[in-house]
Each structure stands twice: as structure tokens, then as C-alpha cells.
Structure 1
Amino acid sequence: MLGIKEIQEIIPHRHPFLLIDCIKELEPGKKSVGYKSVTYNEPQFLGHFPGEPVMPGVLMIEALAQTGAVAILSVPENKGKTAYFGAINSAKFKRKVVPGDKLELSCEIIRQKGRIGIGKAVASVDGEIAVEAELTFIIGE
């Protein structure tokens, strides 16, 4: 299990934009599974939406991308690099995510050639899919 400190040794994201709390499963270069505990005191809930806080879909995609970046950047040859978005394909939002939910984040790297990687990403709450997408990563220097 990787906590915040270990995650920050792999990816460059920091508060308030680090959107994963822990990584419970890691196969470097292949897959990572982590969690985000969604809490009411997060800044996006001030305006999204007043009286009905809902985690923005773009932040769920970003949390999935960070989870995938942990997998891609945890291999020795990518240490110290950054994984950037290349594309977001086939994103489907299937359920609202609200404060109190524990979002499970999974990203499996299904293809990689050179600096480009593609991940199959799924976020779920209590086994129910909230969002799924295919994410393309470009590994920078």
C-alpha cells in the first residue's frame, strides 16, 4: 500500500490537486488501483452544486489519470518524469459521486509504445461503476 508520501515520490501532483489518497495495488508499468475518499470540505463543492454537492466528472477523470500515472511512472526508466494527457476516449459517466463516497480508481495499461501509453480506467463506488474511459498518456521529460 502506498500512502500520500509515496505517491508524491512518483507523481508531481500536490494539494489541492492530488486526487488520490492511497494506492492499494501496484504492478509497475501495468496497473494500479487506489482510492479517493470524497469529503464535503473539498473546494469544488462550494459551487458544484450548491445544495447538491456532486464530484465533477473532469475531476474523476483526473483522479483516474493520476492513478494510471502512478503505474506508468513507477518503472525505473520513468522515475522523475511526468505523464501528460494525450487523449480521453470513450468516457462514460454512469453514477453521481457525492461526499461520503469512497471512489475506487483502477487503471490498467493496455498498450505502450515508446513515450505513449493507453490505459483502461474505471472508477467505482461500492462496486458500481461511476465512470469509465480510455486514457492516453504521453511521458514527458
Structure 2
Amino acid sequence: MKSEFIISLDLLDVNKPIADIEAIRKLNPQRFEMEQLTAILHEDLDRNVCAAVKVVTDDEFWCRGHMPGMPLMPGVIMLESVAQLSSYFTQKFDLLGADIVGFGGVDDVRFRGIVTPGDNLILMVKLLKSRRNRMIIAAFQGVVNESIVVEGTLRGIPIPTAAVAEQLARRS
């Protein structure tokens, strides 16, 4: 039933993205094999919702080992994908006031299907709560072929970039 989706699938067209990987890179720091978004498909600041696609290919870093002969996208990578979408939306509209948004936790996560190479994983988030400089909370869904494959609630927190830089400098 389409009403169960955060965003109606009728509003999402993978062939007409509103932001490509270069636009995502301007807001998200992940690169190389850790980039888990292909394009942004929809944004609505009034409803606090955003959608993206992750085009899953045979070249994904996890395909060779998870699992040989039967590559299944690991759940943790699905969660990373929705975290990156939440971060993109949060950063684009400066909802947290942070240099970088990081994982703060996940709640009520359910994996309801599989994702394999050749799939378009449609990711959707709805911001439920935003406390500037503290935390964002977002409901999320991942959809393949009009079926929810993952859903739950995500928490995003500001990454203390100065503290991270200081810690790395002490190790050098």
C-alpha cells in the first residue's frame, strides 16, 4: 500500500534526480567505497522529508565477501546509506549546526527484504526532531521494487571535528 511510504513512490524518478553525486559530495564527507548514495530524488523542507537512490552494482566492495556466490547488501551498509541521506538533508538546510553529522544510534530497525546487485535501493527519511547542536531524529525506510526492505529510526549527532583533529594529531 503506497500510503505506508514516507514519500509516495509516484514522486520519485531515478531518471530525474534533483542532485547528483557531486552535489552530495559538497555536503557529505564520505568518499570512494564509503559513498552510499547515487543521487537525491526529492526534498521537501515543509514536510522535513528527503529521498535518494543507491544504485547497487556488482562492483560494490562487499559483493566479493558477503556472501560468495550470493551477494546480499549487508544491513549495516543499508543503515549507512540512510545515515548519509539524513546527513545530506541535515547539512543542506543547516538543521544541526554541525560541521559533520555522525551516527548517534538506531532504534526499532527491521530488515524486511534483501538488496542485491542490480537493485535500486530507494531511501527515504523524515526528520522527526531536531535539537540544534545536539541531535536529529529521523524515521527512515529503504525500498526495493515497491517493497520496504529496511525501516527504523536514526539519530544523528554533531561530530566534534576539532577534538577528532586533536586526537589524530597526538598520534602523529
TM bucket, shorter chain: over 0.9
Q: Which aligned pairs between 1:116-135 and structure 2 lie closer than 5 A?
A: 116-135=135-154
Distance apart, 1:54 and its partner CA: 0.4
The 3 A distance-change label for structure 1 pair 117 and 26 is same
Whole-angstrom distance in 1 between the partners of 2:71 and 2:86 = 26
How much is the aligned-residue C-alpha RMSD, in angstroms? 1.7
Structure 1: any 5+ residue segments left out of the alignment? none
Change (3 A) 1:105 1:18: same
TM (normalized to structure 2)? 0.77
The 8 Å contact of residues 98 and 158 in structure 2, kept in 1 or not, is answered as no
Residues 77 and 123 from structure 1, CA distance in 2 versus in 1: closer, same or farther, beyond 3 angstroms? closer
Relative contact order, higher structure (CA 8 A, sep 6+)? 1
**Percentage of identical aligned residues:** 28
Matches within 5 A, 1:47-58: 47-58=65-76
Could you say what secondary structure the match of 2:33 adopts? Answer: coil
Determine which of 81, 98, 112 is the counterpart of 1:94.
112
CA distances 1:63-88 after superposition (whole Å, capped 9, x unpaired): 01101111111124767711111111
Deviations 1:29-75 (A, max 9, x none): 92210000111121201100001010000000100110111111112
SS in 2 for 1:64: helix
Deviation (angstroms), 1:27: 3.1
Instruction: Confirm or deny: 8 A CA contact 2:137 2:155 kept in the other structure.
Output: yes
| Alignment: residue pair count | 141
Q: 2:55 aligns with which of 23, 28, 37?
A: 37
| 2:57 and 2:117 in contact (8 A); partners too | yes
Corresponding residue SS for 2:148: strand
For the pair shown, the structure with the greater C-alpha radius of gyration is: 2
Establish whether residue 21 from structure 1 lines up as the match of residue 38 from structure 2.
yes
Match of 1:6 among 14, 23, 31: 23
Q: Secondary structure at the match of 1:46?
A: coil
Moved over 4 A (4+): 76-80
Gaps of 5+ in 2: 1-17, 161-172
1:86-129 residue CA offsets vs partner (Å, 9 max, x unmatched): 11101100001111110000011111112210000100001100
Structure holding more helix per residue: 2
Deviates more, 1:130-139 or 1:29-38: 29-38
